[in-house]
């Protein structure tokens, strides 16, 4: 395959009942990943992935290890076939699978971290109710002006800078209501998201120190390939600095737009979504210049992985 390859790892919102089942049935390495997930979490995460119900699967403390297990299973299948990437990134939760891809974390430690992260985030969401709203058709600077004004009503922040004009804001419900009103006054769209918490907002601050302490018991290694991090949209190679970035990520914006622009400027032409659905491929399509030849590869199930491998 000609051209540079990037692996992208999805986060919450990419779940689907049945995810990973075909890989589990076909590959011993995938079965091992799901076995680790079940053991680490003390519950049948594999069953939730394969059979649902969706209501239980989408509970944050279940969903985070579930999606991560599927991404890791996909990653193992790709690796066994000799496929790798020079660069990778994950969207929010997906950043942990990206760290595994780059050799920073073992599978077991990756799943331990996302299980703990999911527990802490669910706890903070229940203690500090909030929500998230997608703002469409406005640039980041204009959205930040609105966030600053609406913050008078309560904690509010940018959660995800997904594309040039698709930005998610997060925080207290009263502040979100004010921001939504300001967006609509400017003739743009503000769409409430079906989420159970105000992810990447100041309302998650209570989880940061505890998660930082938890990471002290886990070994992080220097990356063997480039990882672009959510909080900075830049590479980092020092394990201690990576731990701090992962703690900050809980309350920092996901700079996905900047990450993808950096990849495109670096000459990457093949974007492989290693995990369920094609949310990240959709975002890259919106960011990439229309006159640039870019190839998109959904690699969240056996059929998609085989299509990518056969093209090499």
Average model confidence (pLDDT) across the chain? 97
pLDDT for the residue numbered 79:
96
> What are the residue ranges of CATH 3.40.366.10 in the chain?
4-126+203-310
In the chain, pLDDT over 70 holds for what percent of residues? Answer: 100
Phi, psi values for residue 277, rounded to 5° = 65, -170
pLDDT of residue 93: 98
Q: How many residues does the chain have?
A: 312
Question: Which pLDDT belongs to residue 95?
Answer: 98
Q: State pLDDT tens for residues 50-101.
A: 999 999 999 999 999 999 999 999 999 999 999 999 999 999 999 999 999 9
Q: Which three-class secondary structure state does DSSP give residue 102?
A: coil
Determine the pLDDT at residue 65: 98
Which residues of the chain does CATH 3.30.70.250 include?
130-196
Tokens of 83: 């496929």
Question: Could you count the other beta carbons within 10 Å of the beta carbon of residue 197?
Answer: 23
Assign domain 4-126+203-310 to a CATH class.
alpha beta
Q: Report the CATH number of the 130-196 domain.
A: 3.30.70.250
Which of these is catalytic: 91, 161, 200, 270?
200
From the candidates 14, 46, 92, 196, which is the catalytic residue? 92
Residue 270 annotated in active site: no
Taking residue 305's Cβ as centre, other Cβ atoms within 10 Å add up to 25
In the prediction, which pLDDT does 100 show? 98
Whether the Cβ atoms of residue 201 and residue 151 lie closer than 8 Å to each other:
no
**Residue 312: its pLDDT value, please?**
86
161 is catalytic: no
Q: Is the pTM of this model over 0.95?
A: yes
Q: What would the two tokens of residue 84 be?
A: 């790798």
pLDDT digits (tens, 9 = 90+) for 188-200: 999 999 999 999 9
Average pLDDT over residues 25-35: 98
198 and 126 Cβ atoms separated by less than 8 Å? no
Check residue 2 and give its pLDDT: 87
Q: What is the pLDDT of residues 162-205, one digit of tens each?
A: 999 999 999 999 999 999 999 999 999 999 999 999 999 999 99
CB 136 within 8 A of CB 188: yes
| Predicted pLDDT of residue 55 | 97
Which band of pLDDT confidence, cut at 50, 70 and 90, is reported for residue 1?
Answer: confident
Q: What is the residue-wise DSSP string for 25-75?
A: HH-HHHHHHHHHHHHHHTS-HHHHHHH--HHHHTSHHHHHHHHHHHHHHHH
DSSP 312: -
Beta strands in 137-282 (DSSP E): 156-163, 166-171, 189-192, 226-227, 268-273
pLDDT at 298: 98
Query: Model confidence at 250, in pLDDT bands (50, 70, 90)?
Result: very high
Supply the pLDDT for residue 64: 98
254 near 161, Cβ under 8 Å?
yes
Span 97-108, mean pLDDT? Answer: 98
């Amino acid at each position: 395959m000609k051209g540079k390859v990037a692996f992208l790892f999805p986060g919450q919102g990419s779940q689907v009942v049945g995810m990973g089942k075909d890989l589990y049935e076909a590959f011993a390495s995938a079965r091992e990943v799901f076995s680790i997930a079940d053991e680490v979490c003390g519950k049948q995460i594999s069953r939730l992935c394969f059979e649902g119900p969706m209501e239980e699967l989408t509970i944050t403390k279940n969903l985070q290890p579930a999606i991560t297990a599927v991404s890791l299973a996909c990653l193992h299948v790709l690796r066994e076939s000799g496929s790798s990437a020079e660069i990778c990134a994950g969207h929010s939760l997906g950043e942990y699978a990206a760290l595994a891809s780059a050799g920073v974390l073992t599978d077991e430690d990756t799943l331990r971290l996302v299980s703990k992260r999911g527990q802490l985030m669910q706890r903070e969401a229940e203690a500090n109710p909030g929500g998230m709203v997608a703002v469409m058709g406005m640039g980041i600077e204009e959205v930040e002006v609105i966030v600053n004004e609406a913050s008078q009503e309560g904690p509010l922040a940018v959660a995800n800078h997904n594309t040039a004009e698709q930005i998610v804001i997060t925080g207290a419900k009263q502040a979100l209501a004010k921001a939504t009103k300001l967006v609509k006054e400017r003739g743009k769209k503000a769409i409430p998201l079906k989420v159970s918490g105000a992810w990447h907002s100041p309302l998650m601050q209570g989880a940061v120190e505890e998660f930082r302490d938890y990471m002290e018991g886990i070994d992080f290694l220097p990356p063997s390939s480039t990882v672009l991090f959510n909080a900075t949209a830049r590479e980092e190679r020092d394990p201690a600095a990576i731990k701090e970035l992962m703690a900050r990520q809980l309350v920092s914006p996901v700079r996905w737009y900047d990450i993808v622009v950096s990849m495109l400027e670096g000459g990457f032409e093949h974007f492989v979504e290693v995990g369920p659905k094609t949310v990240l491929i959709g975002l890259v399509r919106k960011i990439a210049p229309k006159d640039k030849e870019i190839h998109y590869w959904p690699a969240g199930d056996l059929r998609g992985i085989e299509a990518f491998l056969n093209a090499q």
